[in-house]
Structure 1
């Protein structure tokens, strides 16, 4: 795979785009569209240093910073004129609602919510959330294990315990389930507890 590096000016500022020759034309256009900070409804035109118009595609020739191309944002696609106004209106309404929530609820509650989300993310990244499936036993439940009649096994290291959890999970996930059971699992009346 070869990489093409294109130097160009957009709104008077120098930019540089780099793409591989296996990129699609849409990907290359999206790259230049992002550099021009243009939306998909805008029309872009690329001009060579001698003023000739160029096609924006993966077949563009590489250039050096001395012979920069010029990218221009020309116009908006008129077939989609009504849509941007609706999007702008929705964005304004969303910003208004966000500011009202911040005013009414307060930043403290929002910070608490963010902390809870971060805590939940950390929990999901560990294997401890698998305890509801009986795969992981927290150290706090050792009192319950004393009541059981099972012979006491030697303490496992954290790594060994995780490997054991993984093996149990893989055994459970390899079970074959009938189509009827799969459909039942998708219904709102299914309760995993």
Structure 2
């Protein structure tokens, strides 16, 4: 029978660990989404590098930064204009942001069951927003600029973008799965034997 006493819940590792894991994965994934929203566009407009990192061209300021003082919202507006995201996605993003903020500021209360949160139910929606953004970049920028894909039919449903794959791997590893580690170790041993 599940406990309703917050202290018993707090002191039970079988309750706290999965609850804390789900909350931290939501926060982590939200940050990955933010990086994708901002970073992909910055990379697109980058036209050089210096000691501080990438240098975005003047087009970046006029096409993106001019849209909003907040770089995240300026980038979201760019994605909306280019039909990467629609109005429903932007509304969903705002809900996901509220959940992320609630988790960041009320983590103890949520993990101990003193406060309700929808983060577990919303997690697949958050991952889908990430996938939607990343697949758009692959299909509309990376594939058209890569001659290896000329004339090939691309099945968008089969595309697993790097950030989504990394997230899937992180979830597996954080869940205690050592299979990826074993594959990596085996590959390392084979690689050192070939040298």
State the TM-score, normalized to the length of structure 1.
0.26
Q: Which has the higher contact order (CA 8 A, sep 6+)?
A: 2
Highest Rg: 1 or 2?
1
**Which TM-score applies when normalising by structure 2?**
0.25
